[in-house]
Structure 1
Amino acid sequence: MASDNPEVYEKENLKRDLKSRHIQMIAIGGTIGTGLFYGSGWAVETAGPAVILTYVVAAVAIYFIMRALGEMSVEEPVSGAYISYSNRYIHRFAGFLNGWNAFVFLLATSAAELNSLGRFAQYWFPDLPIWVTGAVAVVVMFTVNIIGVNFYGESEFWFSAIKVVAIVAMILFGLAMVILGVGHGGRPIGFDNLVDHGGFFPHGLTGMVLAMVMVAFSCGGVETVGIAAGETRDIAKTMPKAVNATFWRLMIFYVGAVAILVTVFPWTQLNGSGSPFVTVFSEIGIPAAATVMNLVVITAVLSAVNASVFINSRTFYNLALQGNAPSFLGTVNHRNVPTRAVTLVFGTVFASVLLNFLLPDQVFEIFASVTVYGLVCAWASIMISHLRFRRIRIRDGREDQIRYKMPFYPYGNYLALAFVAVVLVCIGILPETRTSLLVSGGWVLVVFIAYKLHTRSGGKQTKPSPAETEDARLG
Structure 2
Amino acid sequence: TFINLFSVGKFGESEFWLSIIKIVALVVFSIVAFAICMGWAGETGEPIGTKILLGSGGFAPHGYWAIIMTMVIILVNFQGSEIIGLAAGECKDPAKSIPIAVRNVTWRIIALYIIPITLLISILPWDEATLTESVFAAALHRYGFDWLGYMFAFVILTAAISCSNSGLYGAGRALHGLSRHKMAPKFLGKLNHNGMPQNSIIVSICACWIIILLYTLDTSETAYTYLLAVSGFTGAMAWISICWSQYNFRKKMIAENRVSELKYKTPFFPYVTLFGIWVQVFCLIVIAFTDDLRSTLYAGVPMMVIPMIIFKLKQIRAHRAELIRNKTEL
TM-score (norm 1): 0.64
1:271 Cα deviation (Å)?
4.0
**Cα displacement string for residues 223-263 of structure 1 (whole angstroms, at most 9, x for unaligned residues):** 11111111012212211111111111111211111111111
**Cα displacement string for residues 432-465 of structure 1 (whole angstroms, at most 9, x for unaligned residues):** 32221232123334334423443345399xxxxx
Aligned partner letter, 2:264: Y
- Which stretch has the larger CA shift, 417-426 or 228-237? 417-426
1:272 Cα deviation (Å)?
4.8
Distance change (3 Å), C-alpha of 1:204 and 1:353: closer
Is residue 338 of structure 1 aligned with residue 197 of structure 2? yes
Aligned partner letter, 2:288: G
Is residue 389 of structure 1 aligned with residue 249 of structure 2? yes
- Which stretch has the larger CA shift, 210-219 or 369-378? 210-219
Task: Return the match for 2:158 from 278, 299, 302.
Answer: 299
Question: For 2:318, what is the secondary structure of its paired residue?
Answer: coil
1:268 Cα deviation (Å)?
1.9
1:143 Cα deviation (Å)?
1.3
Larger radius of gyration: 2
Distance change (3 Å), C-alpha of 1:445 and 1:384: closer
Q: Please tell me the root mean square deviation across aligned C-alpha atoms, in Å.
A: 2.0
**Cα displacement string for residues 297-325 of structure 1 (whole angstroms, at most 9, x for unaligned residues):** 11000001111121111111111110111
In 1, Cα distance between the equivalents of 2:290 and 2:128? 22
Given that 1:323 and 1:459 are in contact with CA atoms closer than 8 Å, whether structure 2 keeps it comes out as: no
After superposition, residues 53-452 of structure 1 pair within 5 angstroms as 142-272=1-131, 274-360=133-219, 361-452=221-312
**Cα displacement string for residues 114-147 of structure 1 (whole angstroms, at most 9, x for unaligned residues):** xxxxxxxxxxxxxxxxxxxxxxxxxxxx211222
Distance change (3 Å), C-alpha of 1:332 and 1:160: same
Of structures 1 and 2, the one scoring higher in RCO (CA 8 A, sep 6+) is 1
Q: Percent identity?
A: 29
Q: Which runs of 5+ in 1 are unaligned?
A: 1-141, 461-475
In 2, Cα distance between the equivalents of 1:287 and 1:342? 40
**Cα displacement string for residues 157-187 of structure 1 (whole angstroms, at most 9, x for unaligned residues):** 0001100000111011101111124122423
In 1, Cα distance between the equivalents of 2:257 and 2:40? 61
Distance change (3 Å), C-alpha of 1:378 and 1:273: farther
In 2, Cα distance between the equivalents of 1:273 and 1:431? 27
TM-score (norm 2): 0.90
Q: Which runs of 5+ in 2 are unaligned?
A: 321-330
1:383 Cα deviation (Å)?
0.9
In 1, Cα distance between the equivalents of 2:260 and 2:309? 41
After superposition, residues 448-459 of structure 1 pair within 5 angstroms as 448-458=308-318
Given that 1:212 and 1:426 are in contact with CA atoms closer than 8 Å, whether structure 2 keeps it comes out as: no
Please name the residue that 1:15 is paired with. none
Question: For 1:199, what is the secondary structure of its paired residue?
Answer: coil
In 2, Cα distance between the equivalents of 1:363 and 1:281? 31
Counting matched residue pairs gives 319
Please name the residue that 2:327 is paired with. none
1:412 Cα deviation (Å)?
1.3
Given that 1:145 and 1:310 are in contact with CA atoms closer than 8 Å, whether structure 2 keeps it comes out as: yes
Given that 1:181 and 1:189 are in contact with CA atoms closer than 8 Å, whether structure 2 keeps it comes out as: no
1:378 Cα deviation (Å)?
1.0
- Which stretch has the larger CA shift, 256-265 or 206-215? 206-215
Question: For 1:194, what is the secondary structure of its paired residue?
Answer: coil
